[in-house]
Chain A
Amino acid sequence: MNWKWEVLFRALIQFCIISSSFALYEDQIGKFDWKHEFLGKVQHVQFDNLMSVSSYAYIATDRNALACVRMENGGVHKRKILSENDGLISSLVYSPDGLITVTAKGIARIWDPRLSELKWEVDFNEAAEQGTDFQVLASSTMKQHYTQGNLLVLLSNVGLHKAKISNFSPDGAHVTTAPFLEGQQVLPDSTNVLLVDSTSRQILHLVFNDMQKMSVTIHDVIEFEVAHHYLLDVSSLKSMDTAVVLESQVMVYTGPEDSSFYAIDLQSGEEVSTVQLSFHDISSPVRKLFINENPDVANHGTTFAVWHGEDEISLMSYEDKNFENIWSKKFYSILDAQIQKVGFETYLFVTTRHRVSKKSRIHITVVDVKTGIERPELEIKYTVPGNMGDVEKVYIDMFLRRVSPIGYRALLQSTDESITLVEHPNRALWRRDESIASLQDVVMLDLPLSEVHAGMEVELDINSERDISPTVLEMFAKRVKNQYAQLTSWTSQTWNELNSTPSQKKSSSNQVTGLTRDPFSFHKMLVGVSKSGTLFGLDSYSGSIVWRHYHQELKDRNVRLFVQRTTAHFPYPPQVVVLGTAPSKSPALLEFNPITGVFTDKSDAYKDMDSPLIQAFLLPATTDDSHLRPLVLVSKDLGVRLSPASTPSQLVSRHKVFLYDVNQESGVVQGFKITGSGQAEFVWNLAIPKSHRIVACAGKHQMEKIDSMGRPLANRSVIFKYLNPNVGAIISESTEQNVDHASLMLHVFDGVTGRIIHSQIHPRCGGPVQLINSENWIFYSYRHLKYRRNELMSLEFYEGEHQVNSTMFSSFQTRPLPQVVQQAYIFPAHVSALGVTRTERGITSRQILFGFRNGVLFGMIRRFFDPRRPLNMLDQHREEGLVPYMPEIPIAHELMLSYNHTIEQISNIYTSPAALESTSLIFVTGLDLFFTRSQPSKMFDVLKDDFDHGLIAGVLFGMLVTVFVVRRLAQVKKLNKAWR
């Protein structure tokens, strides 16, 4: 047979096998899966209307998302995710030409006002013919006469660039570059200010660093050449906060310890005027000088605001070389002050923070800049909700009104990365919790039993605890009492439901009380902790937030969640611990009930831990009767602490507990023995060659359920799996840049003894690596650098035909090294996360879950990654159900669990078993959240959705009728026969 035909035939078989198993019916879409879109931490905000009320806000975030958000409800109208390779969005400008974004790598784009299309794009980096180290420092737009078209001016680390943006033809986007002059290097820690002046048609570039000199460069727009360049001696200036450039290119600056204002004409570089601050009743040090934030100097006017002292703001004007104090006002605890100018109206918005009986309150005071009159009828007094953190940044959307001259809305960004739109007088229109986009760790918990079931549990529990079995009468009385309680609770529930209006119903469904376990335990509580230190409790049915808690202590720490007690131990409440570690701080530890979100801070007990934590894990044993698994904290000086602190240390010594610590920095894996003495003993160490660095590490899941201990072969013998629960695996990548010398190394070791079970090297391969270690297999993805493709590696470990010890597994027992079977596959997609399904008893075959970089969640049964897949298919292989080996793994669209959704920037895949053996629940985190169910072996324990109940019932009924009719007929016939 021609080999092509053979390949085709094999592919056909494979596809037949795949397509018969999965895929979703159209009417199942959204039935048990949901996807929520997020944006990330807000970096830039622009409002879409420059004059009247905005209907959309444009938001650019740290995850490179660009979104058009509806102002009425906070919903995302359109979202664009820019490529990682473009660099972060460094500026966002809304102009009449459209929405202009400039990324850090110099790609400027103009979007249609609703983000529906990209109108224009130009790569400044390419145009400037620079290498990879091109970096945008600042950018702004310059208005010109409409015949000339507006200009986009870009400052990079190589020079100044301009491009005309009004003619949207990409070919016409002519980029002109003016390279820096000799000695005009841009130092890394300098502040760059780029301003344009549309009246004199010049571009001003100010560079300031701590060397008391300011470099001033003025470019002419038309010639695009340097008109003036000089160094300015600014000895008292400490930061650009205390310098402003006014109309006609006059820079006014002062220093924090300085006692005078200096006015400098930037054209000539000469000091024009100096005045003592005290002349203008400014006695306290100046914090900030500010004017309206417009890059065009022509709009700056001649007045500027001075924030001095603690909370005082004065408005100064500089005209004809004279300073004048127009007005001064005192505020209380200023958070932010900004001047907004719309049309001819200029207003000052001062945001102040107040504390009213433990609650933080934000006041936004509006002052007319010209007159200095406060406008109390516009003031916003907003009480910040307790779990929101502090307001960090305020974006004001000011607009003109017919009756009162202006109106405004404020977008508050708080430290928990949420944004809230607030309106006069104190109404919050909407809120977006953007920190969900950066979940660091997630646990999935069963919901507690309903009141009724819990009552039964209690009944049984009391019985089992007592030594004397209760009498029948006692049991009967208890049962009657219990059922009476059930009846009353049911009636009250029904009564409430009947009485409540639909709107109330909706709100009550969100409450914690409604969260009870369903028969198959599909309904879970998803508890996640984000980078900003916010903890979320999400309802797995809808993805809605049940509770949220912001804890400032956890911000910017490495956070992890540990389930100390699940919901299975009624009447003890479930308990989860969140641990936040930072290199030089004592650990933050919070205990909370994952269902209700009630917190207790336990950090104080560990305040004295001056050595940073290296590892934390849950003990396998529980404290006597409360079913609580203590958390073990191991610090760098090998001190061992337990949480809860009252746990007796004998609990540790009763078990043989070991620990391994993978140090990424030093490339050393160390093994320790944890004893009850409060100190970890060093046992072994494993060092990776200096030319490598550890990129991935995976241990086995502690509570993994394994159904089958071996694998039957075609000749009906068994090869037993090497089920060492102590196996750890690390993958290291070479630091070598040269492809031919690069390599990837895998070490599989026993975590107790440090014995290396297996190791192998992949030459010319590198990261990114994703790794799974489960049962008796290891699976990972990596990149072949030479052939520029992604590959998957599957390894299985077997003990052989006989088990060394069939009753117990001890790493100290001498046993031969396991047999290793392995196979590699080519995978035509970039894998950014790997996961594997987990089921209740582990009978269902496992499914490997891939999160692709292009936003697809892909699931494939492990059978296709069975390293025993034969090259030459024999009868015995067919009998075993092996699929012939094909190097390439096809990506079938039926296997995409996310069907047509795109899950942006997938970072992790979490799985959890449902009570139904066939089903595993999958939760994908990243910029978007996606939740779905998967049945790797199809639904073998439950009727399918399309099962024809009507037909079965009809047939059954029909047969029943037939039986009766036939019986009657038979009776009649018998009677007739008897008469004959």
Chain B
Amino acid sequence: MTRDLDFKYKSNEKNQIWNIDVGLRRDQKLPELAAPPGFSSDRERSIVSDVKQTQDDNHNNLVDKRSWDIALGPIKSLPMNVFIMYMAGSHISIFPIMMVGMMFFRPIQALMGIRSTMRMLECSNQYALQTVMYTLGNFLSLMLAVYKCNAMGLLPTHPSDWLAFVEPQQRMEFVDGGMRL
């Protein structure tokens, strides 16, 4: 605000009163204005540097925070997912199956798109750790999905699941007989 005003006065002085020159020529520089009375340039300098310092720090912190948010997202949603899975029950019907499907689908999708997520995390200082945490989180939710499938009995982990593939035994001897004719 102050700058704008300064600018106005400045142009008034240089040119005609109602003519305001908005542009600057290529090699023209803003003329240094004399400090207003009672203005200490030292102080101004110190304040500006302070602000700049804090602004820079703030930005870095923000990026880190954001990145951590992204990286820890899967892990953070894990308890929620556990609860949802618990609530879905172990009956094989359309909703539990849809939920388990989503449970599988999301981490897999996330892992497929890990490159774009990594790009998002690039600016962060703890880039490597965040990527690892992100991957770990997704794997954890995938494991949760697998565990849920197991709990629902959808995984062929029992002998009865392989029963259909058991071939009939080949008979080695042949026997016939019955009542005497």
Total interface residues on A, using CB and 8 Å?
53
Shortest Cβ distance from A700 into B: residue = B175
Binds B, one of A142-150, A701-709, A954-962: A701-709
Indicate with 1 or 0, residue by residue over B143-169, a CB within 8 angstroms of chain A CB atoms.
Answer: 000000000010000111101101111
Are A807 and B178 in contact (CB-based, < 8 A)?
A: no
Residues of B within 8 A of A662 (CB): 177-180
Closest 9 CB pairs of A and B: A712-B160, A660-B177, A716-B158, A617-B176, A751-B175, A810-B172, A809-B169, A709-B166, A658-B175
Residue from B158, B172, B179, B181 in contact with A697 in the complex, judged by beta carbons closer than 8 Å = B179
Q: Closest CB of chain B to A849's CB: distance in Å?
A: 20
Shortest Cβ distance from B165 into A: residue = A709
Binds B, one of A79-87, A262-270, A462-470, A717-725: A717-725
Residues of A within 8 A of B164 (CB): 708
Are B159 and A718 in contact (CB-based, < 8 A)?
A: yes
* 4 further contact pairs, Cβ within 8 A, besides A655-B174, A809-B172: A658-B174, A660-B175, A709-B167, A752-B175
A231 beta carbon closer than 8 Å to chain B: no
B173 beta carbon closer than 8 Å to chain A: yes
Shortest Cβ distance from B166 into A: residue = A709
Shortest Cβ distance from A752 into B: residue = B173
A808 beta carbon closer than 8 Å to chain B: yes
Residue from A560, A581, A706, A728 in contact with B177 in the complex, judged by beta carbons closer than 8 Å = A728
Residues of B within 8 A of A560 (CB): 181
Indicate with 1 or 0, residue by residue over A657-694, a CB within 8 angstroms of chain B CB atoms.
Answer: 11111111100000100000000000000000000001
Residues of B within 8 A of A656 (CB): 172-174
Indicate with 1 or 0, residue by residue over A214-227, a CB within 8 angstroms of chain B CB atoms.
Answer: 00000000000000
Residues of B within 8 A of A612 (CB): 181
B16 beta carbon closer than 8 Å to chain A: no
Q: Measured between alpha carbons, how far is A97 from B125 in the docked complex, in Å?
A: 121
User: Which residue, of B178, B180, B181, has the highest number of chain A Cβ atoms within 10 A?
Assistant: B181
- B-to-A contact residues, CB < 8 Å: 153, 158-161, 163-164, 166-181
Are B163 and A709 in contact (CB-based, < 8 A)?
A: yes
Q: Measured between alpha carbons, how far is A697 from B160 in the docked complex, in Å?
A: 34
Residue from B158, B167, B179 in contact with A664 in the complex, judged by beta carbons closer than 8 Å = B179
Residues of B within 8 A of A806 (CB): 166-167, 169
A615 beta carbon closer than 8 Å to chain B: yes
Residues of A within 8 A of B158 (CB): 712, 716-718
Interface residues of A in 911-929 (CB under 8 A from B): none
Q: Measured between alpha carbons, how far is A615 from B153 in the docked complex, in Å?
A: 52
Q: Closest CB of chain B to A614's CB: distance in Å?
A: 5
Residues of B within 8 A of A717 (CB): 158-160
- A-to-B contact residues, CB < 8 Å: 558, 560, 581, 612-618, 620, 655-665, 671, 694, 697-699, 702, 706, 708-710, 712-713, 716-718, 723, 725-726, 728, 751-752, 801, 803, 805-812
Are A614 and B166 in contact (CB-based, < 8 A)?
A: no
Residue from A620, A697, A712, A716 in contact with B174 in the complex, judged by beta carbons closer than 8 Å = A620
Residues of B within 8 A of A809 (CB): 169-172
Are A811 and B173 in contact (CB-based, < 8 A)?
A: yes
Q: Closest CB of chain A to B164's CB: distance in Å?
A: 7
Residues of A within 8 A of B180 (CB): 614-615, 661-665
Q: Closest CB of chain B to A772's CB: distance in Å?
A: 14
Q: Closest CB of chain A to B92's CB: distance in Å?
A: 13
Are A659 and B177 in contact (CB-based, < 8 A)?
A: yes
Residues of A within 8 A of B176 (CB): 615, 617-618, 657-659, 699, 702, 751
Q: Measured between alpha carbons, how far is A614 from B176 in the docked complex, in Å?
A: 12
Residues of A within 8 A of B174 (CB): 620, 655-658
Residues of B within 8 A of A694 (CB): 179
Q: What are 28 A-B pairs at a CB distance below 8 A?
A: A558-B181, A581-B181, A612-B181, A614-B181, A615-B181, A657-B176, A658-B175, A658-B176, A659-B176, A660-B177, A662-B177, A664-B180, A665-B180, A671-B177, A709-B163, A716-B158, A716-B159, A716-B160, A718-B160, A723-B168, A726-B173, A726-B175, A752-B175, A803-B169, A806-B166, A807-B167, A807-B170, A808-B169
Shortest Cβ distance from A810 into B: residue = B172
Residues of A within 8 A of B163 (CB): 708-710, 712, 718
